[in-house]
């Protein structure tokens, strides 16, 4: 069994991004800029935003966080997004999800200028991903593909089972795998007999937020396991969706939690923001 070390790869990618950002600044005078909207006091969301801010600082990016109260109005968020869409110093806009119940999340995500949609959630970018065209891809599944590539794991022709069908992870993960010529199966909360499907996986991707959902009798010998889940146990320990201790004894590769997919998500956010900055710089030439 070999660990898929996302922490080491993300460090390598960040170093490359730092150099590219410096070159962009020297050539054009522009610094990549990321704006984040954080609504409410959710501890997990606040922690994620803090990590993203630190990553921007390390990369030499400009970043700003708009913190808003939980009872914020739809129009107030919309006005902030419109302001950021028109701000030439902002290349990427990130809406930290989930948003409070009174907010129409779909409408908010659709309001983000597609060229600044570094999370890849706008229907324009979703459509481009689905049809195999260049655009912004959600950071977590994009990070997973980079991680597999780093370890020379080719998904072409492989049976890839994705557990979880969210718009943020499961669906874009499946699209990326299809674009890479994998055979893809998507499972979700209504899937009957999950084990029957996971046992067929050459590569298993799991991202639903259920501790120890995947047990050793649910994976075949030599399978590759990508654990995208992140959960906190009662004693405060971070764990994924896979019973790591037991499943790791059967598989050929597995991502640890923490230190697997998580750092790759942050690295891809920086990468997408740099990509947006370069495109905006070209438009101004």
DSSP 190: T
Active site residue 52: yes
Packing angle between helix 261-284 and helix 43-59, nearest 10 degrees? 50
Q: Beta strands 183-187 and 203-206: pairing type?
A: unpaired
- Whether residue 98 is preceded by a cis peptide bond, meaning omega within 30 degrees of 0, is yes
**CB neighbours of residue 75 within 10 Å:** 8
What is the spatial distance between Cα 258 and Cα 243, in angstroms, rounded to a whole number?
A: 13
Active site residue 215: no
Sign for the pseudo-dihedral over CA of 93, 125, 208, 145: negative
Among candidate residues 91, 116, 117, 119, the one labeled active-site is 119
What is the spatial distance between Cα 276 and Cα 274, in angstroms, rounded to a whole number?
A: 5
Active site residue 119: yes
Structure tokens at 200: 């067929």
What is the spatial distance between Cα 240 and Cα 259, in angstroms, rounded to a whole number?
A: 11
Among candidate residues 91, 96, 116, 202, the one labeled active-site is 96
Packing angle between helix 123-130 and helix 170-179, nearest 10 degrees? 30
Contact status, residue 160 vs residue 141, Cβ threshold 8 Å: no
**CB neighbours of residue 236 within 10 Å:** 6
Active-site residues, by number, are 52, 96, 119
């Amino acid at each position: 069994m070999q660990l898929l070390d996302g922490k080491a790869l993300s460090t390598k990618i960040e170093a490359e991004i730092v150099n590219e950002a410096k070159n962009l600044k020297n050539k054009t005078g522009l610094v990549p800029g990321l704006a984040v909207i954080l609504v409410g006091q959710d501890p997990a969301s606040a922690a994620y935003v803090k990590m993203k801010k630190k990553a921007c600082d390390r990369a030499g990016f400009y970043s700003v966080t708009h913190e808003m109260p939980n009872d914020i109005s739809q129009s107030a968020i919309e006005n902030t997004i419109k302001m950021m869409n028109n701000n030439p110093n902002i290349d990427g806009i990130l809406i930290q999800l989930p948003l409070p119940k009174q907010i129409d999340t779909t409408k908010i995500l659709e309001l983000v200028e597609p060229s600044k949609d570094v999370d890849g959630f706008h229907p324009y970018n979703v459509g481009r991903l689905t049809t195999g065209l260049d655009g912004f891809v959600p950071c977590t599944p994009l990070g997973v593909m980079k991680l597999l590539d780093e370890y020379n794991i080719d998904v072409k022709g492989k049976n890839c089972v994705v557990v979880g069908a969210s718009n943020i992870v499961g669906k874009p993960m499946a699209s990326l795998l299809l674009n890479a010529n994998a055979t893809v199966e998507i499972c979700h909360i209504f899937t009957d007999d999950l084990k029957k499907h996971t046992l067929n996986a050459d590569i298993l991707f799991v991202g639903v937020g259920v501790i120890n959902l995947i047990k050793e009798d649910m994976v075949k010998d030599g399978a590759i396991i990508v654990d995208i889940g992140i959960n906190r146990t009662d004693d405060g320990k971070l764990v994924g969706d896979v019973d790591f201790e037991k499943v790791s004894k059967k598989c050929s590769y597995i991502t640890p939690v923490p230190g697997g997919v998580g750092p790759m998500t942050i690295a891809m956010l920086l990468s997408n923001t740099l990509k947006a900055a370069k495109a905006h710089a070209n438009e101004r030439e």
